[in-house]
Amino acid sequence: MNYLQYTFPATPDLQEILVALLGDLPFDTFEEGSENLMAFVPMPADVAALSAEVQEIVEPLGVGFSVQEIPYQNWNVIWESNFQPITVGDFCGVRADFHAPMEGVQHEIIINPKMAFGTGHHETTHMVMQLMADLDFRGKRVFDFGCGTGILAILAAKLGAVAIDAVDIEPPSFENTLENAKINGVSDVLHALLGDLSVVEGSGYDIILANINRGVILDAFPTLHQKLKQGGILLISGILKTDRELVLAEALQHGFSPVQSLEKGNWLAVRLH
């Protein structure tokens, strides 16, 4: 399947706002650059309708965009030319399988991202991994809501979680999670699911990870509260700092209490109990 690439000329700060605003549209992946944001989406049935939705979102910000079709088979080449290993202090390192093994980190994750979000490069993923460093995953049951590449679920497995459900609504993310779980040797404890929250039958999770976007998280708070065991921990990100009060007020309304938060760039990550 071919993809459409939407290119938005924008400063880095504005790019982060655009990613948050465009998050509810069917884009698989966003790639941020020094001068442009690129967003990729499988070829839709109605290109004009999608572009009209994009226009409605970006026009108030004074942002234009261009659209071009790219062959699907070029995607791996694009990633291999741009994807560089990253570290979260000495806690964790993330690399692709074509990179040399990493030294000086406690945990190493191999991610071949393809068309799925989550390599550790984005501030939101990076912050959730930082929050995970302070938690004890040994023997725990974990739910990764909106798993993307599976990076957070895989890290949970490497930290000792014994059962992990990871769900994503996008087929490329589901397939990529399965592949990355196998590469990292955690397929025995990581169960990937394709769909929304309704396909997840599990409950009583010790820890839930939700790195998605504001709209999805707000809608999911009631269900996430039901699925989290008493005394459990919810880590959320994909939220702009400007939405802090709105999100925390909604979290409190559904029985969650904020314990810790991190900020990076324009983004926020929060640990809730």
One-letter amino acid at 250 equals: E
64 among annotated binding-site residues: no
Q: Per the structure block, which two tokens stand in for 111?
A: 């991610």
CA torsion 15→57→2→238, rounded to 10°? Answer: 50
Is 56 in contact with 21 (CB distance < 8 Å)? no
Is 16 in contact with 266 (CB distance < 8 Å)? yes
211 among annotated binding-site residues: yes
Nearest residue to 155 (alpha-carbon basis) of 170, 171, 135, 169: 135
28 among annotated binding-site residues: no
**Distance, CA of 32 to CA of 84 (rounded, Å):** 14
Determine how many CB atoms are found less than 10 A away from the CB of residue 5. 16
146 among annotated binding-site residues: yes
> Order of strands across the sheet with 163-168?
190-194, 163-168, 141-145, 205-211, 228-240, 267-272, 258-264
At residue 28, the 3 state secondary structure works out as coil
**Distance, CA of 164 to CA of 33 (rounded, Å):** 33
Residue positions forming the annotated binding site: 125, 146, 168, 211
Binding residues for S-adenosyl-L-methionine: 125, 146, 168, 211
